[in-house]
Each structure stands twice: as structure tokens, then as C-alpha cells.
A and B are shown apart, each in its own frame.
Chain A
């Protein structure tokens, strides 16, 4: 089954404790992105990647890092999480073929205390 898998689904942690949210897709997609969803703001792009070793900032990259060492994986790293990073996070992937939509993971709810 074609899917985008995020882990963990839920995480409660404390300020300053490094964490990684993993994202893996099994569709051999070139493009991958991370979004955060906050009430009243919709979803906003954090980082994106157009292929292995090619990443770039989205609209709200501060406090986040990403890497794309393999095509299927695109982890989101919070080196020193802060309470303002409490949010719902989505990973998405898309084929490089024109006109293909993005496929979303099921989301990760992060709470930073």
C-alpha cells in the first residue's frame, strides 16, 4: 500500500531535549515536504526536498533541521525544542511527474513543555 509513514504519532517532551520525527515514503517520490498546522493559520511549509541531498527552507524553518540522505526518508529534527514548536506536523511526498498531488502522512502531535 502506498503510504507516507510518520513516527511518532504523539510526543510530549520538555524544552531543549533534542527530538527527531521520522518520515518515510514507499512510493519512490522525488519531492518531500514538512508542514506544521496551527489553529487559525492552516498548514505552513517548514522545509522541502526535491531529491536526495537537495533541501531548502520553506516559510517557517527557524528551529528546525532536515536531511535527505535516502530518497525514501526525510526526518525533521528539532535540536532544541521550545514551547512555540508545539504543533501538529505533517510530512508529504509527491512524484516528480507533473500534475501529481502530494500524499500526506497521518500527522505527529508534538507538545513541548
Chain B
């Protein structure tokens, strides 16, 4: 079974600053993926970034990047140059290719952007 833990229920950051959201996971699988999803007040689930476990290079998408530490089972999200539109709930999730087509989610981190 996979588990995902987000230990920061809430975070805040000043506009234009950088913030890092933490995520740890546990899995017995060797072939898995990790994701960060953003959920704004509109409730949509928006894929922010994903990482394949077999790739050592950290994924980046514009202002979003991850720090993937496979041995430590850590997968943090860094948001650079924070913008007001980044305010949302952020969910970390894991997926195994040999499982039951399930994304296992953490409990989420609510990010507030301070103008």
C-alpha cells in the first residue's frame, strides 16, 4: 500500500517570494510516479507537475520545480516568484503502474499568497 503525507496544513508566502511545500511518501513499488495537483477555489484539480521515480533529474515547469529525494522518499514542491493566482490547496499524490489505477493523495496544504 502507498501512503502520502503532507505535514503542513497551511502555508503562506509573500507575493514574489519563494515557498516550498513538503511531501513524503511510502511505497513498496519500484515503478511509480509522483504528482502535485493544485485545487483553486473553483475546486478543479489541476496537474502542476509530475515526476517519474526512475528519473533522477528533478522535474520543472516554469516557476514550479520539485526536489525529489528517492532514498528519503521525499517530494517537495518549490514555487518561485509566487503570484496571487497560486493561492490554492495543493495535493501531493503517488501512482503505481502495478496497482489499481489509484492516485494516493496526501491531505493537502493550503497556500495563501500575501500581497
Number of interface residues of B (CB under 8 A): 22
Does A101 contact B101, Cβ atoms closer than 8 Å? Answer: no
Cβ–Cβ < 8 Å partners of A101 in chain B: 35, 47, 50
Sort chain A's interface into a size bin. 20 to 34
What 1/0 flags go to A81-113 for Cβ under 8 Å of B? 000000010101010001101101011010000
Task: Give the interface SS of chain A, mostly helix, strand, loop or mixed.
Answer: strand
Smallest Cβ-Cβ distance to B37: which chain A residue: A104
Contacts of A59 in B (CB 8 A): 102
Complex Cα gap A45–B95 (Å): 12
Q: A88-B43, A104-B44, A107-B43 are in contact. Are A43 and B101 (CB under 8 A)?
A: no
* Cβ contacts under 8 Å, B35 to chain A: 101
Residues of A at the B interface (CB closer than 8 Å) are 31, 33, 35, 40-45, 48, 50, 56, 58-59, 88, 90, 92, 94, 98-99, 101-102, 104, 106-107, 109
